[in-house]
Amino acid sequence: MNGHSLESGDDRRSRRKYANGSEDDRAERDGGSWDKEADRRSRRRARSREMEYRRRSRTPGSADRRSRSRDRERRRERDGERDRDSRRHRSEERDEGRQRRDYDADSRHRRSRRSPDRRSSRATPRHGENEVVKADNGRSLIKRSGPLPSQSDSFALSKGEELEKPKEKPNFGNTGLLAAASNSITQADGTTITLKYHEPPEARKPPPRDVWKLFVFKGPDIIDTIELGTRSCWLIGRELAVVDLPAEHPSISKQHAVIQFRYTEKRNEFGDKIGRVKPYLIDLESANGTMLNGERVPESRYLELRNKDLIQFGSSTREYVIMLAPKE
């Protein structure tokens, strides 16, 4: 029993020792495996961080930043090259200006050293003038710049005589006499009357659909009615030989004023041309003037007449009312 118990006790101690040793070995094994796992995890985390960094570095924003930085560097290089070129160009201009000033100063110095006789002898004569050059023997020779003269002129020059002046050539230009004659009218007694007015190129007779009339009032009474559509121009004045509408008041000039029909064109809002023939009033620089609706009109200037306008000539009490008949 005791031996068995002792054996059992030894066995138990050996088993405990083995158990204790196995636990230590297990702990050692477990600790080593844990370190390897931790190392593996750390490497995995480092790899993941590296991959994340690489992925972030490949984002569009980073690419844009890199492209912008490259553009800035290129711009700096271009600006530097441009500045260098501009500085080189300015230096070249300064050198050219300095050379030009030196050349001008040298040329002025050379000209100042020339004698007055030499400068005058080298002066270029005008067209048709003769240049006097002194020969080596002291005689003065005449150097001509124009065509060769005739034999008589060359003999006259050699003798020191004056040349004969050329005859005046006929002038076939307009003298204005024909135009003045066309502006005048010759009467039976031989006297001429010069017209102060001529119709412009745009003069037209009014169309038949526009019936313009001129009513002559003396006080409240109508003393005359004139159909203006029969002609394009109406000359008003006291000169009975040339006027179309006589006005015998002493304050009215011989050729006082004109009622002229003119063709004018205007564009509407669509850009189309619209042409019409309208009456105009012009004062021929009369002595006492012309009144339109109570106001004096300027001289030698067309003013458009409208329906029911009132015209007065000089100091005459007669009133001329222009009216457009209503269309049926």
State the pLDDT confidence band at 32, using cuts at 50, 70 and 90: low
Q: pLDDT at residue 7 above 60?
A: no
Give the residue with greater pLDDT, 98 vs 138. 98
- Residue-level pLDDT at 31: 56
pLDDT given for residue 108 in this prediction: 73
Q: Given this model, what pLDDT does residue 120 score?
A: 46
3-class SS string, the chain = CHHHHHHHHHHHHHHHHHHHHHHHHHHHHHHHHHHHHHHHHHHHHHHHHHHHHHHHHCCHHHHHHHHHHHHHHHHHHHHHHHHHHHHHHHHHHHHHHHHHHHHHHHHHHHHHHCCHHHHHHCCCCCCCCEEEEECCCCCEEEEECCCCCCHHHHHHHHHCCCCCCCCCCCCCCCCCHHHHHHCEEECCCCCEEECCCCCCCCECCCCCCCCEEEEEEECCEEEEEEEHHHCCEEEEECCCCCCCEECCCCCCCCCCEEEEEEEEEEECCCCCEEEEEEEEEEECCCCCCEEECCEECCECCCEECCCCEEEEECCCCCEEEEEECCCC
CB neighbours (10 Å) of residue 288?
Answer: 16
Assess contact for 297 and 287: CB atoms under 8 A. no
Q: State pLDDT tens for residues 113-139.
A: 654 544 444 445 454 455 555 555 555
Position with higher pLDDT, 126 vs 34: 34
Structural contact between residues 284 and 257, judged by C-beta atoms closer than 8 angstroms: yes
| pLDDT over threshold 50, residue 227 | yes
Confidence of residue 215 (pLDDT cuts 50, 70, 90): very high
* Among 128-142, 156-170, 209-223, the least confident range: 128-142
Of the candidates 198, 207, 200, 188, the residue with the CA atom closest to the CA atom of residue 275: 207
Query: What pLDDT band is residue 317 in, cutting at 50, 70 and 90?
Result: very high
Of the pLDDT bands very low, low, confident and very high (cuts 50, 70, 90), residue 253 is: very high
Q: For 165-176, what is the mean pLDDT?
A: 72
Q: Interior CA angle at 326 toward 322 and 328, to 5°?
A: 155
Backbone angles phi, psi at 170, to 5 degrees: -70, 145
Q: What is the mean pLDDT of the chain?
A: 78
pLDDT value at residue 4: 45
Least confident of 29-38, 125-134, 159-168, 300-309: 125-134
pLDDT greater at residue 56 or residue 308 = 308
Question: Residue 21 pLDDT more than 70?
Answer: no
Q: Alpha-carbon Rg of the chain, whole angstroms?
A: 59
Please provide the CATH number assigned to the domain covering 212-323.
2.60.200.20
Q: Measure the CA dihedral 232/235/236/239, to 10°.
A: -150
User: What integer is the mean pLDDT of 98-105?
Assistant: 77
Question: Distance (Å, rounded) from C-alpha 174 to C-alpha 152?
Answer: 36
Report residue 272 CA to chain centroid gap.
26
Q: Is the pTM of this model over 0.85?
A: no
Q: Hey, where are the domains in the chain?
A: 212-323
